[in-house]
Amino acid sequence: MFLHGRDADGRLRELSAQRARLRPVLGTLAAAVLDRRAFEPLGFRCLGDWSRERLGVGARTLREWARVERALAGLPLLRAAVRAGEVSWTVARKIVGVVSPESEAACLASVRGRTVRAVEVMLRAVAEPATGASEAAEENRVLVRVACPRRVAMKWAAALELARRMAGESLPTWACAEAIAAECAAAGAAVSPPPPDRCSPLHSARAPQRNAESGLRAQVWPHLAWTPPAVPGGDRLERLSHGLDRCAPRALDRRFREAIAFLQQIDIEIGRVLRQVVERKLYRELGFETFERYATERLDGSARRLVRLARAEHRAPEVATAFRAGRITLFQAEVLLRGGRVDRAERVTLRRLEDEVPEAEVAFRAPRDVAILFEAMVARVGLEAMLDHAIVTWVEAGRAFEDYADFGRDGFRCTVPACTARRNLQSHHIVFRSAGGPDRPWNRTTLCAFHDHRGVHAGRVRIRGRAPDRLVYTLGVGRFRSGDVKL
């Protein structure tokens, strides 16, 4: 069903208003998790490990939710305007850092009714930038995208893994790409392009332009019969964020997941509407030059991700259904769009799912200088030769670690489900040495320092069985067996 620009915009405003009602709940929950470090008693090393696994949200986003909610608590006028939908959350987020209780009324008068873009211009005029340096860096990142055959994609995954092992931490993809390209650049002429007959069909392109017209004919539009998502009434929502100080970490986790499930019901609808807006260029009809400009005014954050999900709906309807029902998170859904099954995603951790379903292309956002370096090396020697060089170099360097046979067996990372730690690894005795546990491979597993000292020895995580394949891990959020499979 086709929507006209005005209809699409009206629906999106309605959906955004529903999202706005969830905001205080999400912000309060995020602040409670952060204040109490509730992820630790649940057996997670850091906020991001917990939030990615349980909510499908990154740590930075969660901190932002908490920061804005805390700031609004001291700014009653602004808070009321946000609640009433007069000021968008995106605008609130940009200005809470520069508004004080004294300047609140004046500031509110100047931003009310203004677009996000206009507020950004205003903020640039005041001395102190409202957004942090890291956020500005994030916004300046460019997309690097290289299509490649599956064989090369597997090498890409291997090179990322090795880069993280070498660094001893879970580097972001762009930092791995920088290491891969730098390794190749350092080798100079030693890495040469493959002979022409071996050239893989590579091309590098920034965000390939879709042909909207041909795309339209081939696509199936989901039926957009307008039934607003069944987000519960105020009482039920309020209940989720009430009495949090008396809430045990496990209950906090459950409430947060419930709130995220409501958010996902709204977001899937937002994705459907936005997909029409972007593919049929309805934003022009509404007076915006680009989709990004339009999306910024109506939504915070994840517009492109929701459009991708909506686009995949006809080829993977079960993913959209599971997402809408809150059975899988956005991160899980994104992996499943590359392949894999919903029931598998429900049974294993996100980190296992990501290992099982490799990327089918090389795509990441990177600071401009890293993107330039990476693309230059791809142009000079080809993606595959560059990856081969990094892999050979790092496998060679990794031989120095071979004394640590357990680490190699366990993939140079902590074996506790969903843990992303690769640093300060230690060999842990499953039956403690003090309890007569033998120093044999089956009684040893690799743990990060947190999971050794503050997990197992603090009683937050329990490990039983035989390494490597027959271990059972008990965390605050449930039990898992080796390989991150839920029990």
Q: Kindly write down the DSSP assignment for every residue of 275-305, as one continuous string.
A: HHHHHTTHHHHTT-SSHHHHHHHH-SS-HHH
Considering beta carbons, is residue 244 or 461 the nearer one to Zn ion? 461
Q: Quick one: which segment of 24-32, 91-99, 253-261, 415-423 binds Zn ion (CB under 5 A)? A: 415-423
Shortest distance (Å) from residue 292 CB to Zn ion: 38
Helices first, then strands: H and E counts in the chain: 24, 9
The residues facing 464 across adjacent strands are: 472
The residues facing 427 across adjacent strands are: 446
In whole angstroms, give the CA distance from residue 88 to residue 12.
13
Cβ neighbours, 10 Å, residue 275: 22
425 binds Zn ion per the rule CB under 5 A: no
In whole angstroms, give the CA distance from residue 171 to residue 165.
9
Which of 38, 160, 385, 448 is in the footprint of Zn ion by CB under 5 A?
A: 448
Considering beta carbons, is residue 282 or 419 the nearer one to Zn ion? 419
Q: Quick one: which segment of 166-174, 200-208, 337-345, 412-420 binds Zn ion (CB under 5 A)? A: 412-420
Whole-number Cα distances in Å, 244 to 46, 70, 239, 247, 402: 20, 15, 10, 5, 48
451 binds Zn ion per the rule CB under 5 A: yes
In whole angstroms, give the CA distance from residue 104 to residue 87.
13
In whole angstroms, give the CA distance from residue 108 to residue 77.
8
Considering beta carbons, is residue 383 or 421 the nearer one to Zn ion? 421
DSSP 170: -
11 binds Zn ion per the rule CB under 5 A: no
Considering beta carbons, is residue 249 or 340 the nearer one to Zn ion? 249
416 binds Zn ion per the rule CB under 5 A: yes
Give me the 224-263 binding string for Zn ion, x by CB under 5 A, dash otherwise: ----------------------------------------
Whole-number Cα distances in Å, 174 to 157, 365, 366: 13, 7, 5
Considering beta carbons, is residue 81 or 416 the nearer one to Zn ion? 416
72 binds Zn ion per the rule CB under 5 A: no
Considering beta carbons, is residue 56 or 455 the nearer one to Zn ion? 455
351 binds Zn ion per the rule CB under 5 A: no
In whole angstroms, give the CA distance from residue 250 to residue 230.
25
Pairing of strands 426-429, 444-447: antiparallel
Length of the chain: 487
In whole angstroms, give the CA distance from residue 226 to residue 240.
27
Considering beta carbons, is residue 175 or 419 the nearer one to Zn ion? 419
42 binds Zn ion per the rule CB under 5 A: no
Q: Quick one: which segment of 38-46, 89-97, 353-361, 400-408 binds Zn ion (CB under 5 A)? A: 38-46
Q: Quick one: which segment of 79-87, 178-186, 392-400, 406-414 binds Zn ion (CB under 5 A)? A: 406-414
Shortest distance (Å) from residue 106 CB to Zn ion: 49
Q: Quick one: which segment of 41-49, 88-96, 277-285, 352-360 binds Zn ion (CB under 5 A)? A: 41-49
Q: Quick one: which segment of 352-360, 377-385, 410-418, 477-485 binds Zn ion (CB under 5 A)? A: 410-418
Considering beta carbons, is residue 19 or 45 the nearer one to Zn ion? 45
In whole angstroms, give the CA distance from residue 371 to residue 355.
25
Q: Are 249 and 29 in contact (CB under 8 A)?
A: no
Distance in Å from the first CA to the final CA of the chain: 42
Shortest distance (Å) from residue 464 CB to Zn ion: 17
Q: How many CA atoms lie within 13 A of 150 on its CB side?
A: 4
Which of 421, 461, 463, 477 is in the footprint of Zn ion by CB under 5 A?
A: 421
Q: Quick one: which segment of 3-11, 103-111, 206-214, 420-428 binds Zn ion (CB under 5 A)? A: 420-428
Shortest distance (Å) from residue 452 CB to Zn ion: 8
The encoded tokens of residue 94 equal 């940009």
422 binds Zn ion per the rule CB under 5 A: no
In whole angstroms, give the CA distance from residue 69 to residue 93.
9
419 binds Zn ion per the rule CB under 5 A: yes
31 binds Zn ion per the rule CB under 5 A: no
> Could you list the residues that contact Zn ion (CB under 5 A)?
45, 414, 416, 419, 421, 448, 451
